[in-house]
Amino acid sequence: MAVFDTAKQDLYVACSGDSRAVAGIWEEDENGDGSWRVEVLSEDQTGRNPMEHERIICRIQSEHPPEEAEDVIVRGRVLGGLEPTRAFGDARYKWPRDVQDVLNTAFLVGNNKPLRPPPSTFKTPPYVTATPVVTHRALPFTELTNGFAPPKSSTPRFIVLATDGLWDKLTSEEVVALVGGALQGLTGTVSKSELHTLAPTSSGLLSTVEGKEKRSLKDDDHPHSDSWSFGDDNLGVHLIRNAFGGGDQHAIRRLMSIPYPHARRYRDDTTVTVVVWKDDEDGAEEVATVSTRPDQQVEIYSKPSGSANDVSNAKSKL
């Protein structure tokens, strides 16, 4: 979740789990050239994140007996099973075993969908918390100049909030370049080797803390396109299309046509929200928000500042 405090020019991001928030800010030099600065606003909260792992160790020492220390994080996962260390839901890592048994009997027995039993090392729950890590950044992201001229009043800025399904396929730098390229007006198919020239990126204050286990599927199981696609007005659809096929239309159609439950082996649940804003000539901010999920219709909400009741909707599909 991201909260803009426009009165005090502050941005707060609260993250529970392995979703990620990344911002892109256009910085222009004196010659009119520039790049999209990549500002990472959250960490992947998994056992593979060294900082999160350290927080878990501190929590274990205060909440669990010493003999459990070696079992709580196994192969980067909570009790060897769950990757995110913070999450809403995932009750089998939170509720006591007797509570899970009662609820399983009352609501699930008989419908052929019993609650998954807790891991064998489950002893003193909860092991997972929903408490988010909250980060703060001052707007309009101008505390770093990196040798560039101060941003103009019309400098475009955007934030991408997305679940791990997107970050399994794309890096923070690729996401910023893809959105930045679209905002610059790129169209058609662009080779992956060209994008860094057409929509260059630069590093911001923090680098991405990778907390996800990299999957090792065979090449013919997980096709890789050598090009990006620029043709969707909806920035959320644009990112999902490039995560799952890019310029290879056959690849994305094949991947998106895999039915449940087999699809989980090839793509994770993916939700993408893109917020784009810039200051107009009067200093007011114009904000457009796009929230997208695969296999669903997409609703785009655009609300210019000063027009609180002016909300326009559009729908599209992959």
Asked whether the predicted pLDDT for residue 96 surpasses 60, the reply is: yes
Mean of the pLDDT values across residues 255-281?
Answer: 82
Supply the pLDDT for residue 215: 53
Residues pairing with 30 in the sheet = none
CA distance 148 to 150: 6
- 3-class state of residue 274 by DSSP: strand
Supply the pLDDT for residue 235: 93
Going by C-alpha positions, the residue among 179, 144, 185 that lies closest to residue 159 is 179
Assign residue 90 a region (left: φ > 0; alpha: ψ between -120 and 50; beta: otherwise).
left
CA distance 308 to 312: 11
Average pLDDT, the chain: 78
Supply the pLDDT for residue 192: 94
The model's confidence at residue 248, banded by pLDDT at 50, 70 and 90, is very high
Percent of the chain with pLDDT over 90: 31
Supply the pLDDT for residue 209: 62
Please give the model's pTM, rounded to 2 decimal places.
0.80
Asked whether the predicted pLDDT for residue 298 surpasses 50, the reply is: no
Q: How would you classify the pairing of strands 299-304 and 201-203? A: unpaired
CB 37 within 8 A of CB 27: yes
Mean of the pLDDT values across residues 50-65?
Answer: 77
| For the chain, the helix, strand and coil percentages under 3-state DSSP, each to the nearest 5 | 25, 25, 50
Supply the pLDDT for residue 126: 92
Going by C-alpha positions, the residue among 24, 52, 53, 47 that lies closest to residue 37 is 24
Identify residue 112 by its one-letter amino acid code: N
Supply the pLDDT for residue 170: 93
